[in-house]
Structure 1
Amino acid sequence: MTSAAARRGISFALLLPLLLAAQPVATDSYLPALPAITRDLGPASASLTVFVLAFGFGQLPCGPLSDRFGRRPVLLVGLASYALAALGCALSSGIPMLVACRALQGFSMAAILVCARAAVRDLYPAHEGPHVMARGLTGLGVVGLLAPLMGAWTVQSAGWRWVLGGMAAYAFLLWLLCWRGFDETRADSAGPSAPKGSLREVFASASFRAWASLAAATYGGIFCFLLLSPMVYISYLGFSPAWYGWIPAGGSLVYIFSTTLCRRLLRRVGAVRAVQMGSLLSLAGPLVQALGCWLLPRTAWPLLLGHAIYCIGHGIHQPCGQAGAVGDLPHLAGRAVSWSGFAMMAVAFVVGQVAAGFVDPELSHGAWPMVVPMALAGAALVLIAYVWLPRLPLSHPRKESP
C-alpha cells in the first residue's frame, strides 16, 4: 500500500469493527424484543425473516454500485437509511409498518457490510485479508456480546421501541464517524467507471466458490440459532428475556476468543488447516446438543455447551471464508463480496424456513428444529474443509497495487 493508503488503513482498522457490528446491533439486540413486540403488535417473526431477505438481496446491487461509484458514497447512504429505518421501526403502529421498515434496514445493512468488506480488499493484499477480517470480527464480537444484554435490559426497563431507537442512534453516530474518517478506498475513484471483468469471472473463480460456500454453510447453522433460540430458551425451557439475553452474549464472548484463535492459527498452520480444525468443532457442537435432546430433554446445559463449541468453529470459518471469497478478485471486490454475502443469506433463509416449519404451538419437537440444521451445517463444513478446499488450484493473484 502507499503511505496514503496506509493512513487510511489505520483509520479504517478502527472503523471496520463498528461497521461490521451493524449486523449484531440489528439482530442480537432485537431478539429479546420479539416476545414483547408479538404481545403489542402481533406475530413478529416475519420482521426477522424479511430483514434477512432484504439483507441478502440488497447485497446484489450494492456490490456493483460500490465498484462503480466508490465505497464512501454507498456506505454513507446505507448508514443514513439504516438510521431512518430503525427509527421507523420504533414508531411502528402495526406489523406491516414494522416489516417494511425492517426490510429497509436490511437493505441498508447490505450496503454497509458490502462496502466494509470490499474496503478490506482495497486496502490490504489477499494474504492479509483473513487476519484483517479476524480483527474486525473480534470487534464485532465485543458489540455482539453487549447487544443482546442491552436489548434485554432495555426491553424490561423501557420497552421494545427503545431498542430500535438505540439502533438508530448507533447508525447516526457511525455515519458521523465515517463522514469525517472514511476516505474512498476504491482504486481509480476519481469518477464513475465500470470495473474490468464481469460477474461470470466471479463465479469462474474456484477459490470464490469454495470459500463462499464455507461462509454460507457456517452462517446457515448460526442463523438457525438466531431464529429459533428464543423459542427454545424462552418458550420451551422457560427462560426470562433477561436471562435469555446472556445466551447470545455468551456466544459472542466465545466468538471473540475464536476470532483471536483464528489469527494465531492462520500464522501457524494457514487458512485451509485452520478451517479443517474449525469444521470438527462445528460438527462436534451440534452432536453434543443432539445427545442432550435425546437423553436430557428440557435440560439447557447440553444446548449451551454445544452452542459454545459451534461458535468456536464459526469464529474460524467466517474470517477465512469472507476474505478468501474475494482474495483472487481485487478488481471485482464489490461484486465478489455481494454475491458471497447473498449466498450466506440465501442459505440462512432456506434452512431457517425449513427448520421453522417443524415448530408447532405445543413445541412438541423441543429443541430439535434448532439442533438438526446446525448438525447438517457442521457436516457440510467438514466436507468443504477436507474435500473441497485442499483441491483448489494454486492461486495466481493479480499484481497488487503499490
Structure 2
Amino acid sequence: MPANAPPSTRRLAVLLGGLAMFGPFSIDTLFPAFPQIGAQMGVDKLAMQQTISVYLLAYAAMSVVHGPLSDAIGRRRVILAGLGVFALASAGCALAATLPQLLLFRALQGLSAGVGLIVGRAVIRDVLHGHDAQRLMSHVSMIFGIAPAVAPVLGGWLLGWQRWPFIFWFLVAFAVVLMAVVWRGLPETHPPAARLPLRPASLLRAYAGIARSPRFLRLSAAAALNFGALFLYIASAPAFVLDLMRLSERQFGWFFIPMISGMMLGAFVSGRAAGRIDGARLANVGFACCGVAMALNIGCTLLAGSPSGRWAVLPISLNAFGIALAFPIITLAILDMYPRQRGSASSLQAFFGLLVNAIIAGVLSPLLSGSALHLALGAAAFAVGGWLLWWWETHAMQRVLRVPQEPAALEPVVP
C-alpha cells in the first residue's frame, strides 16, 4: 500500500483495535491455565502471579522505546517488528519446561507487546484531530475491550481441547495474522519529513522535559490510578473467580463479560458524545460513575461477605464504564501537549500506567486477593486517588486559562 494512501476511519479502527488486543490476550488467556501450569511446574499461586508481573515490567521498560522509535523510523516498521518478536516469544512460552524458562519468554512477550497500543495511539493523532480523534480513540477502545472479555473464556475452551501450551500456539497464530493484516492494510502515517532523529541523549532530554511537566504527571497518574481500580480485579481474576466466586476454569466469562461490556458501553458513549459534550465535563461524569461503583462494591461486599452471586460483578462493570468515559479524554489531552513528540508522550504515559499495573500484579494482588473486602477497599483507594488528581488538574487548568500563555510553553524544545 502506498505510504500516502489515506486510511478509512472504520478500517483504521478495526486494525488498531486488533493491534491493541494482543497485549490483553497475553495476560487474560493464561488465567484459566494457572492451576494446570502450577501443577506441572511444581509452583504455587504466588509464583504463577509473577508471570503477570514479569510481563508487565518488561512491557513498561520497553514502552519508553516504542514511541520514540516510531517517531524516528516510522510507525509501520515498529509495529511489524514488534509483532514478529511477539510471535517468537509466544512460541518460546509454549515450549517452556520450567518456570524460569516461562518467565524469560514472558518477559520477551512484554518487550514486544506494547507496539500495538502505544504506537497505535500515535497513529490516531497522526491522521485525525479534535473530536474526530476522540471518536476514533473511543472506537478503538470498544474493539480493544473485546479482548479481556473473550480471552479468558477462549483460554478455558482451549484448555478443554489441549493442554496449556496450546494457548501460546494460539497467540503465535494471532500475531502472524496481525502481521499479514498490517502489511497489507496499514499505511505509514508518520512521513520522513516529520520524523525525529533517534539520539539517546536527545531522547533522555525529551523524556526529562515531559516528566518534569506537572500537568503531564497529573494526567498520567490520574489515568493510571483510575484504571488501577479495575486492573486490581483483572490481576486477581484467578483468585476472584476460582476461589471467591467459586466458579470453574470455563466460567471466567461471568466476571469478564459484564466488566468489559461496561467498558465497551463507556467507550461507545464517549465516541457519541464527542463534539456534543465538553470533554472535561464528560470525564467528570466518568469519575463520578467510578465513585458510585466503588461505594456500591464496598457496600455489597460488606452485606454479602463473599462475591458468590453473579451480581457481584455489576459494580465492577459500572467502574469500567466510568473509566472508558474518562480515559480517551485524558489520553488525548496528553498527546495534544506534545504535537511533535506524540510517540514519546504516549510511551511515557504507558510506562507510568504499566508500572502501576506491575506493582498491582506483583505486590498488591497477592496481598489482597484472598479477601473480597480487601479487594474492594484497595480498588476504592485507587479510584479516589485518580479522582483527586483529576480534580487537581481541572482546577489548575482553570487558573492557567485566566493567564495569557505563550504558544512555545505548550511543548518543550528538544535539541
Q: What is the TM-score when the length of structure 1 is the normalising length?
A: 0.89
* 1:295-310 equivalence runs, <5 A: 295-301=303-309, 303-310=312-319
Task: Quote the residue 1:154 is aligned against.
Answer: 158
How far residue 122 of structure 1 moved from its aligned partner, in angstroms, is: 1.4
Aligned: 1:311 with 2:320: yes
Gap change, CA 1:288 and 1:68, over 3 Å in 2: same
Matched residues in 1 for 2:81 and 2:316: separation? 36
| Aligned-partner Cα distance in 2 for 1:337–1:134 | 16
Deviations 1:19-78 (A, max 9, x none): 111122112222222222212222321111101111111101222211111111111110
Residue of structure 1 equivalent to 2:276:
268
CA distance in 1 between counterparts of 2:53 and 2:4 reads 42
Matches within 5 A, 1:64-103: 64-103=68-107
Equivalent residue, structure 1, for 2:169: 165
- Does structure 2 conserve the Cα–Cα contact (< 8 Å) formed by 1:281 and 1:309? yes
Greater displacement, 219-228 / 318-327: 318-327
How far apart, in 2, do the equivalents of 1:379 and 1:60 lie? 27
User: Aligned-pair RMSD on alpha carbons?
Assistant: 2.5
Distance of aligned partners of 1:9 and 1:261 in 2 relative to their CA distance in 1, 3 Å threshold: closer
The aligned counterpart of 2:388 is 383
Secondary structure in structure 1 of the residue aligned to 2:321: helix
Match of 1:367 in 2: 372
Q: Any runs of at least 4 consecutive aligned residues in structure 1 with deviations exceeding 6 A, and if so which?
A: none
1:230 to 232, 238, 242: 238
Partner of 1:293: 301
Judging changes above 3 Å, is the alpha-carbon distance between structure 1 residues 387 and 138 closer, same or farther for their aligned structure 2 residues? same
Residues 39, 350 of structure 1: alpha-carbon distance in 2 compared, 3 angstrom cutoff:
same
Partner of 1:36: 36
Q: Deviations over 1:117-171 (max 9, x none)?
A: 1111211225533222111011112333322221111123322221111111111
Q: What secondary structure, in the 3-state scheme, does the structure 2 residue paired with 1:272 have?
A: helix
Gapped regions of structure 1 (runs ≥ 5): none
Are 1:246 and 2:254 counterparts? yes
CA contact (8 A) 1:280 1:378 kept: no
Q: Are 2:4 and 2:188, in contact at CA under 8 Å, matched by a contact in 1?
A: no
Q: Pick one of 245, 256, 280 that aligns with 2:288.
A: 280
Worse overlay, 89-98 or 281-290: 281-290
- 3-state SS in 2 of match to 1:309: helix
The aligned runs of 1:13-28 (5 Å cut-off) are: 13-28=13-28
Change (3 A) 1:199 1:127: farther
Mapped partners of 1:103, 1:159: distance in 2: 22
For residue 224 of structure 1, report the CA deviation from its aligned partner: 0.7
Call closer, same or farther: CA 1:358–1:231 in 2, change over 3 Å.
same
Aligned to 2:137: 133
5+ residue gaps, structure 2: none
Q: Deviations over 1:199-239 (max 9, x none)?
A: 24423545533332222112212221111121122023321
Alpha-carbon distance in structure 1 between the residues aligned to 2:5 and 2:212: 30
Q: Please, which moves more after superposition, 380-389 or 217-226?
A: 380-389
> Do structure 1's residue 216 and structure 2's residue 235 form an aligned pair?
no
Q: For 2:307 and 2:257, how far apart are their aligned partners in 1?
A: 19
The one-letter code of the counterpart of 2:294 is: P
Amino acid at match of 2:384: A
Instruction: Name the SS of the counterpart of 2:188 in structure 1.
Output: coil
Sort the Cα spacing of 1:6 and 1:200 in 2 relative to 1 into closer, same or farther, 3 A.
same
Which of 371-380 and 296-305 deviates more? Answer: 296-305
Q: How does 1:333-372 map to 2 (within 5 A)?
A: 333-359=342-368, 363=370, 366-372=371-377
1:113–1:8 distance in 2 versus 1, CA, 3 Å: same
Instruction: Give, in whole Å, the separation in 2 of the partners of 1:269 and 1:72.
Output: 34
**Alignment-mate amino acid for residue 18 of structure 2:** L
Distance 1:311 1:230, change over 3 A: same
Distance (whole Å) between structure 2 residues aligned to residue 314 and residue 36 of structure 1 = 33
After superposition, the Cα gap between the structure-2 partners of 1:256 and 1:10, relative to the gap in structure 1 and judged at 3 Å, is closer
Contact 2:58 2:108 in 1 (8 A): yes
Question: Residue 288 of structure 2 aligns to which amino acid in structure 1?
Answer: L
The alpha-carbon deviation at position 341 of structure 1 amounts to 0.1
**Cα offset, 1:382, TM superposition:** 2.3
Q: Distance in 2 between matches of 1:117 and 1:102?
A: 24
What's the secondary structure of 2:189's corresponding residue?
coil
Whole-angstrom CA distance in 2 between matches of 1:187 and 1:202: 23
How many matched pairs?
Answer: 392
1:355–1:370 Cα contact (<8 Å) kept? no
Q: 2: distance between equivalents of 1:147 and 1:251?
A: 13
| 1:391–1:192 Cα change, 3 Å | closer
- Percent of matched pairs sharing the same residue: 23
Q: Which amino acid aligns with 1:387?
A: W
Partner deviation per Cα, 1:370-400 (whole Å, 9 max, x = no partner): 22221012112322333322432459678xx
